[in-house]
Amino acid sequence: MDLEELPIGEDAKRELKKAGFKTLYPPQEQAVRAGLFQGENLLLAVPTASGKTLVAQLAAIYKLEKESGKTVYLVPLRAIAWEKYVDFSILRGIEGFKGRKIRIALATGDYDSKAEELADYDVIVATYEKFDSIIRHRPKWINEVNLVIFDEIHYVDSEDRGPGIETLVSFTKAILPKAQLIALSATVSNAEEVAKWLGAKCIVSEWRPVNLREGVLHDSRIFFKDGEVVELKDEFEEPLHSLLAYSLKDGGQALFFVETRKKTVYLARKLSSVSYLFLSESEREKLKELAGEIRENSESTIIGEELASVVEKGVAFHHAGLTSFQRRMVEEAFRERFLKVITATPTLAAGVNLPARVVCVTSVNRFDPETHTSSMIPIMEYKQMAGRAGRPRYDRFGEAVIYARSERDIDYLMAKYIESIAEPIESKLGLGTYFSTAILASVASGIAVDVESILEVFRNTLYHVQKGRGVSNRVKRILKILMGDGLIIRSNGFLEATPLGRRISELYISPSTGILFLNGLKNKPHSFTEVSGLNLICASPDMRPKFGVTGSTESFVIDFVGKHESELYLDIEDISPMETYKTMTALWMWINEYSEDDIYLKLGVEPGDLYACKETAQWLAYSAKEIARLVKDHDALKKLEELEARIEYGVKPELLELVSSLEGIGRVRARRLFSHGFKKLSDVASASVNELSRIPGIGQKLALSIKKEAGGIIHKEEWKKRKGGERIQASLAEFND
């Protein structure tokens, strides 16, 4: 089907052609014929890179041209949200129903907001959690939404995010009954069942723009599914080295998935001796610059140096312990093809789109740090990794191989993973406290007003489709608990949330966390300090990630707890107190300006995990503060407000004015300013640019910027001294505007 045949405007066709689209892939054509432009709900279960995003874009274009309204595109991860925001940017050149160019917004984070600022946008790309929180606040524009795309819908199977996605689908159906729903995934083996839940037509296809060959690697030979055996003939002794050399010939790239983070680093070092041989001089120069940038922007010199040293040789490791900056640098260099190899944990396969000519799964075992046990990965996880093989526009085919360490494993791995289909997606809504969260949210947002309407919410879940029985009794039992906790009341025959229940739902915390905060404020330790606040936050069910205690870190945590025992909540029910204490210790070190290297060496907490932890802790500190505001505990409110800010910036109280007011001044530079006598904004404003620029890490350009931000006057003589003196007059006009 040609693009010209589609019922969209000429400017839309022009913009899509500029982006490289001319004819539809078979799955895209199937979607059109199934009613994409007639408002039909659709589930597309088609392989990676087979054009799912364009289907969503076409649906959005049609809606915005013909009906106005809003499109919401939902993803499970922030990294994917940014990727899709970039993808949808091509719509900016298209005129919508309102006679103006289509406007696109990215919405992540900040779970206590009505997001009224999104009212003027036509396409909103958001994480599932963000849209869930928006629905709970019911902004005025929400009823304008007439198209919702649920990307990576297989995440419903995730114990972590699945229940939230599942209830969000149900809420969406209740609030937006006329909206068109489109669900996308590369791995849904029970597509018919999931489509039934969504009330959607099912499109299943195995078509890929780049053919996929799957096989098992053993002893420098690849045994492919079709019976072909490829000998990797070269001078390398190790099979993975031989595979890499095979992958990189003629401009190829490779992804190696490994079991643990430590092994990503170990394998990257091993493979760097091979990847370096395939680099051109210009690629070596680019990688050297990239390594320098990583070193310069990594507070943790240990991990930053580890990464930079292998990047220089054309390979990088990638896992959740890296900072978002480090991961982004690696991903961009790989997309631009001068970084040749990535060794990664499976989080990469489930996240950003990084195809490679060859994908190697080096182990089908996964170590669980919580249980300290190892188990075999599910087939779905293998399929997600294998789906990354084959780069559209660069490769005729992609190859996904599993590394077998013994000959007897070849047939087993072939049968277990390559010749099998992924496990069916199963609801995880029945786990944990998700039922109570969903019930409170449905009542607080006005979706449900009685038991029957609550049950209707649950009838629209995959849980009900798959489990069915027992939902009614469970809902009634949990509703009784929520009423006993004072979160829901019955008024004039209808259910409604109390002010506390509504606030807990709006804050996007679970009822159990809200009640924990309430009781924690009522029964504070004798001395309520920053440690007390961190203890309350880290003990909450919503705190994640929490850090497991190992033999090498246990004594440090116990020593810290011993020193602060009078500040702790000793009567909180906590199933994992040592994890709570270690997480609390890591955050205390962060807000007291311990370096990332110190935290890593003493507690084994890597920067990426620390940042993920501090983001959650900041949200929970804000939530605890709002509960304190509700119950009028002004002393706790003030302390939690300061704690929230300190968690955000990782500083002691005296630096808050500097880091919160000056762009480009993080905790390290703020401490240097403070140590040199610039303790307040007024000190920075009254200083000369020369004085500021002499401080390590500041420099002329940043000195000019922060002096301006602090309210200081930039004199012409100071500006002229700027290194290079470029764009003097234009910049003077900008600074003195």
Bridge partner residues of 495 (DSSP): 490
Range of the domain at 544: 511-650
Q: Beta strand 180-185 with 365-368: parallel, antiparallel or unpaired?
A: unpaired
In a domain, 200, yes or no: yes
> 180-185 and 42-45 as β-strands: parallel, antiparallel, unpaired?
parallel
Q: Which residues pair with 397 in a beta bridge?
A: 211
Peptide bond into 545 cis (omega under 30): yes
The residue written with tokens 């009794």 in the block is 473
Q: What is the pLDDT of residues 531-589, one digit of tens each?
A: 999 999 999 999 999 999 888 899 999 999 999 999 999 888 887 899 999 999 999 99
CB atoms within 10 A of CB 395: 21
How far apart CA 608 and CA 585 sit, in angstroms, is 16
Residue 645 has a CB neighbour count (10 Å cut-off) of: 18
- Pairing between β-strand 201-204 and β-strand 42-45 as defined by DSSP bridges: parallel
Query: Do the Cβ atoms of 189 and 389 come closer than 8 Å?
Result: no
DSSP characters over 500-555: HHHHHHHTT--HHHHHHHHHHHHT--SS--HHHHHHHHHTSTT--S-PPP-HHHHH
- Are residues 111 and 156 located together in one domain of the fold? yes
Whether residues 342 and 223 fall in one domain: yes
Q: State whether the Cα torsion 519-522-523-527 is positive or negative.
A: positive
Give the Cβ contact number of residue 116 at 10 Å: 12
Same domain, 682 and 633: no
370-373 contacts, C-beta under 8 A, 24 or more apart: 370/548
Q: In b/e form, how buried is each residue of 537-558, taking b as 16+ CB within 10 angstroms?
A: bbbbbbbebbbbbeeebeebbe
Of the candidates 418, 453, 477, which is a domain's last residue? 418
Q: At what angle do helices 596-603 and 607-630 cross, to 10 degrees?
A: 100
What is the DSSP secondary structure assignment for residue 525, as one 8-state letter? Answer: -
Structure tokens at 448: 């449900």
Distance (Å, whole) CA 720 – CA 505: 55
Residue 364 token pair = 């089908």
**180-185: strand order across its sheet:** 104-107, 123-127, 70-75, 145-150, 180-185, 42-45, 201-204
What distance in Å separates the CA atoms of residue 174 and residue 187, rounded to the nearest whole number? 27
- The helix or strand, by DSSP H or E, that contains position 513, with its residue range, turns out to be helix 511-522
What is the C-alpha radius of gyration for the chain, rounded to an integer number of angstroms?
Answer: 27
Specify if 505 maps to a domain.
no
Distances in Å between the alpha carbon of 328 and those of 44, 315, 323, 454, 505?
28, 14, 9, 42, 33
Q: Which two tokens stand for residue 37?
A: 């432009």
Amino acid identity, position 649: Y
CATH number at 533 reads 1.10.3380.20
Largest CA distance in the chain: 82
The beta-strand segments (E) located in 24-69 are 42-45
Give how far Cα 134 sits from Cα of 105, 303, 649, Å. 14, 37, 26
Q: Return the CATH number at 675.
A: 1.10.150.20
179 and 269 in a common domain = no
Burial (Cβ within 10 Å: 0-12, 13-18, ≥19) of residue 365: exposed
% of the chain residues with pLDDT over 90: 79
The H-or-E segment that residue 366 falls in is: strand 365-368
- In the chain, the amino acid numbered 286 is K
Considering the domain architecture, whether residues 57 and 150 belong to the same structural domain is answered as yes
Contacts of residues 689-697 at CB distance under 8 Å and 24 or more positions apart, as own/partner, are: 689/714, 689/718, 689/719, 689/721, 690/718, 690/721, 695/669, 696/672, 697/668, 697/669, 697/672
CATH code at 488? Answer: 1.10.10.10
Last residue within a domain, chosen from 500, 526, 544: 500
In this structure, what CATH number is given to the domain that contains residue 264? 3.40.50.300
Residue 370, in any domain of the structure: yes
Do 362 and 231 belong to one domain?
yes
Query: Residue with structure tokens 């804000």?
Result: 622
Q: Which residues pair with 689 in a beta bridge?
A: none
Residues 670, 673, 676, 677, CA torsion sign: negative
Cα–Cα distance measured from residue 558 to residue 245, given in angstroms and rounded to the nearest whole number: 49
> What DSSP letter does each residue of 260-281 carry, written as one string?
SHHHHHHHHHHHHHHHGGG--H
H-only helix segments in 631-680: 634-649, 656-661, 667-675
Give the total number of structural domains in the chain.
5
pLDDT at res. 370: 59
Whole-angstrom distance, CA of residue 73 vs CA of residue 153:
12
Residue that is last in its domain, among 606, 621, 650: 650
64 Cβ contact list (under 8 Å, min separation 6): 71, 91, 94, 96, 97, 102, 122, 123
Q: Are 457 and 438 in contact (CB under 8 A)?
A: yes
Pairing verdict, β 315-318 and 365-368: unpaired
426 domain residue, yes or no:
no
pLDDT at position 369 is: 61
- Specify if 425 maps to a domain: no
SS3 for 662?
A: coil
Q: 594 and 477: one domain?
A: no
Same domain, 546 and 644: yes
Question: How is 205-241 classified by DSSP, letter by letter?
Answer: ----SSEEEEEEEETTEEEETTS-EEE--SS-SSHHH
Identify whether residues 341 and 441 lie together within a single domain. Answer: no
| CA neighbor of 306 nearest in space, from 334, 264, 341 | 264
Using alpha carbons, list the distances in angstroms from residue 130 to 133, 144, 270, 438.
5, 17, 41, 15
Q: Which residues contact 660 (CB under 8 A, 6 or more apart)?
A: 645, 649
Tracing tokens 């905790």 back to the chain, one arrives at: 667
Walking along the chain (737 residues) 10 residues at a time, the average pLDDT comes out as: 93 92 95 97 93 96 93 93 93 88 91 89 96 92 97 93 94 95 93 96 94 95 94 86 94 94 95 96 97 92 95 95 92 95 85 89 81 82 93 92 95 96 94 90 95 94 87 92 96 94 95 96 93 97 91 92 94 87 97 96 94 96 97 96 97 96 92 95 92 90 90 73 45 40
**Among residues of the chain, what percentage have pLDDT more than 70?**
96
Residue 299 belongs to a domain:
yes
Q: Is residue 427 assigned to a domain?
A: no
* Closest by Cα among 136, 171, 119 to 150: 171
**CA-based nearest residue to 516, from 461, 466, 467, 572:** 572
Q: Taken in order 268, 274, 278, 280, is the CA torsion positive or negative?
A: positive
Whether 489 and 449 share a structural domain: yes
Q: How many other CB atoms sit within 10 Å of the CB of residue 456?
A: 16
Domain check: are 290 and 411 in the same one? yes
Q: Say if 428 falls within a structural domain.
A: no
Tell whether 330 and 452 lie within a shared domain: no
CB count within 10 Å of CB 380 equals 20
Structure tokens at 181: 């729903």
Separation in Å, CA 332 to CA 67, 277, 287, 346 = 37, 21, 12, 18
Contact criterion met (CB below 8 Å) for 114 and 134:
yes
